[in-house]
Every structure is written in C-alpha cells, then in structure tokens.
Structure 1
C-alpha cells in the first residue's frame, strides 16, 4: 500500500514523500497495456489483434511511466484532501531518490514534493478608522455643469474666423525645432480644442485667425496647466518629462467652429433628463445639483474603500513560504524564469497574494455571493450604457445581446469578481469607524491627485 510521509523543511514549507510498492502500480499498468493493445494501430496486425509482447516491447515503458506518475498524483491529491492542506499553487517535485523507472525491474519508488502552506492570520475590520469626505456642491459648480450640458447639447456653427474664447479650432500639430522648422519624423497629431484652453497670450494671437492660418507654440507656455497635461498626453508625450513639455509645434487651423448653446427650456430639460418631467429652470437646477451630489457621494465612497484597502494591506501581518514561492515563480509558469527575475518579482507577487488571501477570508466571513441573475443585469446595464442610458424594457433583442455577452467566459469571470469586490467593500464600509469631514471639490480633487495608488 502506498505511504506518504510529511516533513517540515522550512517556514510554512513541507516535504511530502510518496512511496509506491509494486502492488500500487503494477495492476493498473497491466490493465492499461491490455486496453492499449485493443486500440493501437501497428502495420501488419489487425486492430485489436496485436500480440501483448509486441505492444509491451513498443509502448510498455511509456505506459509504465505514465501509470506510475498517475498513481503518484492520485495518492498525493488524496492525501492533501484528507489532511485538508491549504497550499499555494501546486506541489513542486524535488530531486527524488527514486531509481529510473524500469518496467523490467519492478521495485518500490519514492517521489518527493515541496508544498507551500498558506499562513494563518486575523483581520479586525472594526479597528479600521477612515475619513468620509462630504463635498460641498456650490452654485458655481451647478452653473458650470449647466453650461457644459448646454454646450454638449448645442448646435455647431461654422464662423469664418475666431472672435471669442468659446470658439473651437481644429488644428494639426507638427513638431518643430527651435527655429520653427518642421522636424521630419517628429510628432504629428490632429486635435480639436477650445480657444479658452490656451493661455491669454495665445488666445489673443488666435483672435481673427481663419482656416489654414498657422502659428507656432511651445507646449509649456501655450496652454493652461490642466489642459496642458491633457494635450501633452494626447500627443504621446510624458507630462512629467521637462524635455517633452518644452517641445515646440506648428499649429495649422483646419476648421473654426462655434457651438451655440442650447436654450434653458423644457425641451432641453427633457433631453438631458429624459422621462423626469422637468418643466422649470429651478427644478432643472435642483436635478443638476442632485446628480453632482450623487457623483461626489460615490467618489467619496470609493475613497473610503481605498482607505480600507490600504489598512488591510498595510496592517495585516502575514508570513509566506518565501523559498517555495520564489522557486514556484521560477518554474511554475509557462516560461521558466531565472533566480534573479523571480527575486525581482517577489515583493509585488506577495502583495498580490496577501490581498487575495485577505479578500478570500473576508468574502467567506461576510457570506458575499454573486448570483447569475446579477451578472446578467450587469450585462444589461452595460448595453444601456452603450445606448446612452436609455431603458428598452424587455425588448427581445436586449435578451439576445445579453445572452451573447454571457457566452464570453472572460466577461463572466471579470464581472463576477467586480461585483464580488463591490459587495465586499460595501459590507466593510458598514463595519469600519468613519468620521465625516467637509471638504471643497478642489481640495478633494487635489487629495485624489496626490494619492498615487
């Protein structure tokens, strides 16, 4: 009868040795040879009529090796299941003292494996302290959003030249040298920009410009700071690289446009918020303010979740079987890695492992589940988002399209994980100790900007 011994060889690292006797593998080997003889095709013999000696001579050793390895795997998995070993990845084979497998020399064989055990740890979510920011929505913010909605739903006209900061210019960017000469092979890009995105000096220079007019700019001085970062990134440059921000470009105007803002009337109100029966400007302003408040409430909630995440990662003590995991990084993937590569990957790898272990524990403790119906509804919400947020009810094509999305296994797995994580953080949000702090939208945005996560 097969025997398995277990020996601790390091921190959370054990050695399992599986020893097989002749009776553990030989009956299965003989049975497999008989099955093989019935199905193998060998020239000169009818199928199923190949003499057993011929089959054994030609295929016996490979069948013998396969049966022994299958037996070892079965015994190993059975032992780990019985002992309820909670391990990382899969057991790693160790240099074994087993002699070369030989079907003509039946003997006892020993196979050794290294396993990495998952650590025991505790998580006390009631000890987590967070700050819940309450963003003050001002009249100025409401006015800015209404102006944005008016522009978004406005009508584009084609004036002959630029006469105000609200004009739009379609431009072609061509990188130049310091003298204004276009660099062959330099950065080129087309874009559409509001005149107000430029600095005051450039805005004045743009006044009266028409289609095909040209001007030269330097990125660092041509745009307001917020827009500059966006333009630099859109050009494929690095906003944090001083050399990139100092680059110069020739701008050729390809079109001048102006959006006539939509009027504040009932038609506009119902275009923006379909089905809400908004009839007055006051009611519309209240709805806009409510939507902004909902947005910032969600952003604030996300920020609480981020604080919870950092507390769980930074303050949950956990040990790992470092030697095993580094060897697994080297040999456990599709492509072997060097010891140096495994060493470099290890810190980030263990951070991911820690988060996986913590969330798995908390998901189980909080009984977080995701039903197939929730995944289906999530898919429908995505479709509605593609269609501009319209509710199509129980339209037959909606179910057909949804079912097609649910055939994508990757989509289902990603959605399951996303919904599970959302539910987990919503549960944890009710368990932690939160103090509320009022904050302006600008200060909140700066706080998010300065937090590199």
Structure 2
C-alpha cells in the first residue's frame, strides 16, 4: 500500500513524499494493456484481436510510465482530501531526477512534492470602519431632473423663423474667403455643419439671427458671436485650433439649414403618466415627491457601492495574511513554463498575493455568513444582463418566450455560470457585510460625491494599468 510522509520545510510550506509499492500500480498497468489490446488498430490484425504480448512490446513502457504517474497523482489528491489540507495553487513536483521507469523491472518508487498551505483567516467585520455618505437631494437637483424629464418628453417643432431663445439653429458654416477654389482644378472647401441655440450666441449678436428663416445667411466674427465652450465647439466644427487666439478673429458665414425648437412638456397628468405609467399621479407635488424618492434611492445605491469599495480596500490593503511567498514564486515560475523572468515574477507576485488574499478572505466570510448562490439567482442575473445589453429598447410584451429561451442558453454556458456565480456571491457578501461593519454617516454634496467617485475610479484604472 502507498504511504505518504509529510514534513514542514518553511512557514505554510510542506513537503510530501509518496512511496509507491509495485502492487499499487501494476494491476492498473495490466488493465490498461488489456484495454489497449481491445481498441488498438494495428495493420495485419482485426480490431480487438491484437495479442496482448505485442501490445506489451510496442506500448508497454509508455503505458507503464503513464500509470505510475497517474497512481502518484491519485494518491496525492486522496491524501490532501482525507487530511483536509487547505492548499494554495497545486502541489509542485520536486526534482525527481533519479527516477527511471523500467517496464521490465518494476520496483518501488518515491516521489516528492511540495505544497503551499492556506493561512488562517480571522477577520471581524465589526472592526472595519467605513463612511456612509448621505447625499442630500437639494431643490436644485430636483428641479434639474424635472427639467430633464420635461425636455425628454417635450414636443419638437420647426418654427418658420428664429424667435425663441431656445431655438436650435442648424447651419452650414464657411470661413470667409474659403469658398472659392484658390486655383484652377482645386475643389471648393465643403462647408462644415454646426448647430447652436439662440441663447448660446453672444447677447449683442443675437439680433443678427432673430427673425431669420431657413436659407438666410448671417456673417459674424467668430470670437464676438460665440464665447467659451460654444466658441470651442464652433472652431472644432471648422477644424480650427481652439488654442490659437488668432482663429477667434476670423469671420465666417452661416447659412441656416434648419430651425428647430424643443418645447418642454407641460407639468400635467399626461407627463406624469408617461414618466410613471400606472402610478395614478395627479398633482405636480406628488410627481416631484416620486422623482425625489427615485433620486434618493439612486444615491443610496451609490453610497452602498462606496461602502462595498471601502470594505474591499480594507480587506485587501489593511489586512495582511501570511503567505508562503517563496512557494508561490516557484509555483508561478512553473506555471509560466519558464517564460517569466525572475524580475517579472517578483513584480507579479504582489498582485497574485493580493488576489489570493481576496479569494481566501471572501471565501471564508461567505461561509461564515452562509452566503449561497442558487439557480434562481443565476437566472435573474442572466436575465438582467441580457436586458441591459438590449438597453431597454425592446418591449418585454410579446418577447417573453424569446428572452426565456435566450436566458436558458446563457445558463448552459459554463464560463458564464462561473463568472456569474462569483459576481453574485461577492455582491451578496457585500450586502451582508454592509450590515455588520461600523458605519459613520457623513453628509456630502452631490458634486463632491461625484468628484470623489470619479477620482477613485481614475486611480483604480491607473492601478490596473500598471
């Protein structure tokens, strides 16, 4: 019977020596040879009628080596399972140089491996301090959202002339002196397209445009008619460098091609029903209350996301698990099949340890908190992902069967299921941890909050690029 001895060679790093007796692998070799004889295709013999002796001669040494190695592998895995060893990565075979596989002369073999062991994980979520940002839905934010909805559900018209300050003037714009071909055989420069609203035009110049209709032209000095971002945009349409101050002094002619006007929707029951179908909202006050609630929920989700991020950073940056680093480097070198240099491994091991640490901690906390993912979770996730791909352009009515069929297809994809399983488990774990960590409330303005999140995402993006 095979025996295995285990000795510690470094912190969280053990050596396993497997001793195989002849009787541990010989029966498997014989069985394999017989099996081979049944299926081998050898010229001059009918299938299944090849003598075992011939197979032994031709394929014996290969089969012998294969079965010895397979037996070792099985013994190692059985030992790890029975001893309940929590290992990192896979066992590494140690230099077994002097092993010779002699089919004619079976003997006892010794194989040595080293394993990396998982460190103890003791994390108390209650000791994690986080900030719960509370974003106030100000009247300004509410009014901006109401305006946005009125625009979205507004009524677009094409007035005869430019009157309203919100009129959108579309025009072909050409720099003066650029229209005619400079020399024979050259084409005239094509005019560029631009669009501005009347109120975007500098106060003193608006009268030049008032009352104009499609087909009329207006000639302006760029820097006088347009300011700031609007000027930058028009210069960009003309393919002119906005940083060159001289360009703003140029004169251009606008030929009006279209006049549009978006009249914001009236705050009435028609709009309330378009935004909140079936909610029976009758008054402007109730409409605003519903919007305020939605914005509040959205901010709450954002603040939760922020907490999850803080928890993640605490667990990856401020908790340090002991790791058998020398073992991990050897394992990385082996799994890169020698393609990675020592320097590359030195650099990569930092990230690798971070990933391992997060995997170990999240797995331990998931089992501590009994976080499980069931088939329904996976189905909901697949459905949600599919609908967000379609971007809500497709109405659900009448397409239910197609959507269900597609979701079932996604459920049959092993890679999708593995990825989804991980994402759902981590999502559920964060929700549980959010209720356990020590959270301190902090009011913050929407502007500050958005800037903070963007800065953080930028840093993350930067980190991942290195």
Shorter-chain TM range is: 0.7 to 0.9
Conserved 8 A contact 1:17-1:110 = yes
CA RMSD of aligned residues (A): 4.1
1:48 Cα offset (Å): 2.1
Structure with the greater alpha carbon radius of gyration: 2
Kindly indicate whether the alpha-carbon contact (under 8 Å) linking 2:151 and 2:263 is maintained by their aligned counterparts in 1: yes
**Which one of 382, 387, 394 corresponds to residue 392 of structure 2?**
387
Secondary structure of the equivalent of 2:18? strand
Q: What's the TM-score once normalised by structure 2's chain length?
A: 0.77
- Structure 1 residues 13-412: aligned runs within 5 Å: 13-157=13-157, 223=229, 258-332=261-335, 336-383=339-386, 385=388, 386-387=391-392, 392=397, 395-412=400-417
* Matched residues, number: 416
Structure 1 partner of 2:446: 441
TM-score (norm 1): 0.79
Which runs of no fewer than 5 residues in structure 2 stay unpaired?
A: 173-191, 461-466
After superposition, the C-alpha distances for 1:208-237 in whole angstroms (9 at most, x for unaligned) are 9999999999xxx9639xx99xxx9xxxxx
| Cα distance in structure 2, aligned partners of 1:339 and 1:55 | 45
| Alpha-carbon distance change, 276 to 21 in structure 1, aligned in 2, over 3 angstroms | same
SS in structure 2 of the partner of residue 223 of structure 1: helix
CA distance in 2, matches of 1:106, 1:247: 86
Q: Measured at CA, do residues 20 and 143 of structure 1 come closer, stay the same or move farther in structure 2, by a change above 3 Å?
A: same
In 2, the alpha carbon distance for the partners of 1:294 and 1:28 equals: 64
* Alignment of 1:4 onto 2:4: yes
Taking structure 1 as reference, are residues 36 and 422 closer, same or farther at Cα in structure 2, changes over 3 Å only?
A: same
What is the rounded CA distance, in whole Å, between the counterparts of 2:345 and 2:405 in structure 1?
Answer: 46
For residue 187 of structure 2, what is the aligned residue in structure 1? none
SS at match of 2:280: coil
> Counterpart of 1:278 in 2: which secondary structure?
coil
Secondary structure of the equivalent of 2:425? Answer: helix
8 Å Cα contact 1:121-1:316 kept in structure 2: no
Q: Are the equivalent residues in 2 in contact too, given 1:159–1:258 (CA < 8 A)?
A: yes
* CA drift at 1:171: 10
Q: CA deviation at 1:246?
A: 6.2
SS for the counterpart of 1:368 is: coil
- Within the candidate set 425, 439, 443, 1:420 is matched to 425
CA distance in 2, matches of 1:119, 1:315: 16
Q: Contact 1:331/1:337 (CA < 8 Å) preserved in 2?
A: no
**Does the aligned pair in 1 maintain the 2:131–2:441 contact within 8 Å?**
yes
Structure 1 residues 382 and 52: alpha-carbon distance in aligned structure 2, compared to 1, 3 A threshold: closer
Change (3 A) 1:419 1:43: same
Measured at CA, do residues 397 and 48 of structure 1 come closer, stay the same or move farther in structure 2, by a change above 3 Å?
A: closer
Separation (CA, whole Å) in 2 of partners of 1:163 and 1:157: 13
The 1:264–1:5 alpha-carbon spacing in structure 2 relative to 1, beyond 3 Å, is same
Distance in 2 (CA, whole Å) between partners of 1:155 and 1:87 is 65
The SS at the match of 1:450 is: helix
Aligned to 2:464: none
Deviation digits for residues 135-159 of structure 1 (CA, Å, limit 9, x no counterpart): 1111111110111112222344457
Distance 1:256 1:383, change over 3 A: farther
